[in-house]
A = this chain, B = another copy of it.
Amino acid sequence: MTDSRRGLMLVLSSPSGAGKSTIASRLLALEEELVMSVSCTTRPRRPGEADGTDYRFVDLEKFNLMVEGGELLEHAKVFGNYYGTPRSEVYELIESGNDVLFDIDWQGTQNLKAVARAEVVSVFILPPSTGELERRLEKRAQDPADVIAVRMAKASEEISHWAEYDYVVVNDDLGTALSSVRSILHAERLRRGRQPGLPDFVKMLREGV
């Protein structure tokens, strides 16, 4: 009766090494009505990444065609590579009452907010300390291009955008951080404006009184 709802866009951003990917995958496993938005990118595939799951890997020509055809909700150039969000997939999910999870950086978030402000709920995840961030980044370094210093500089730049987000979660303990993001998702679903069936439901209630 008030079950009909319009999905929201849950954005998670953080410096790499703050545990965002782990939170995102746990969240997707726990939340039935939450679906990952898979970005397109011109960046080369890294070992362990799957096409269509982590990213849709496309060449620059294909990417430009998508931009020109208006197929991307937002797109940005980050460190020489292009990233974009396919428009139609996201809106089909939202209209059918699913929420869409975005694992994007501050630039992607700004672009998404510019085109879909009412739908976006943005969460910034912070590491508990610099030492912990450094430790996690060192563990992650896989290829020669993954120089720690470059990653740390990028982390610092990403962190500088924390104040552009609706919510901030410090990932000190994974279980607590996960539960925090779930609370945010559950609460935001209950916002008055996100329950389109309410006016009719209230009308029915009052007529019966």
Interface residues of A (CB under 8 A from B): 2, 124, 126-127, 129-131, 133-134, 152-153, 155-156, 159-160, 162-163, 165-170, 179-180, 182-184, 186-188, 190-192, 195, 198-199, 201-202, 204-209
Taking a contact as CB atoms closer than 8 A, the residue among B159, B183, B187 that contacts A206 in the complex is B159
Q: Are B192 and A184 in contact (CB under 8 A)?
A: no
CA distance A204 to B180 in the complex (A): 23
Taking a contact as CB atoms closer than 8 A, the residue among B166, B186, B192, B207 that contacts A183 in the complex is B186
Taking a contact as CB atoms closer than 8 A, the residue among B130, B191, B192 that contacts A209 in the complex is B130
Main secondary structure of the interface of A (DSSP, over half): helix
Residue of B nearest to A188 (CB): B187
- What chain B residues lie within 8 Å of A208 (beta carbons)? 129-131
Known: A2-B170, A166-B191, A183-B186. 18 other contacts (CB 8 A): A124-B192, A127-B205, A129-B205, A129-B208, A130-B205, A155-B209, A156-B209, A162-B192, A162-B198, A163-B199, A167-B190, A167-B191, A167-B192, A168-B192, A168-B195, A169-B190, A179-B186, A187-B188
- Integer count of this chain's copies in the complex: 2
Residue of B nearest to A182 (CB): B183
CA distance A201 to B168 in the complex (A): 12
- What chain B residues lie within 8 Å of A170 (beta carbons)? 2, 201
Closest 9 CB pairs of A and B: A130-B208, A187-B187, A183-B186, A156-B209, A184-B187, A183-B183, A183-B187, A167-B190, A152-B209
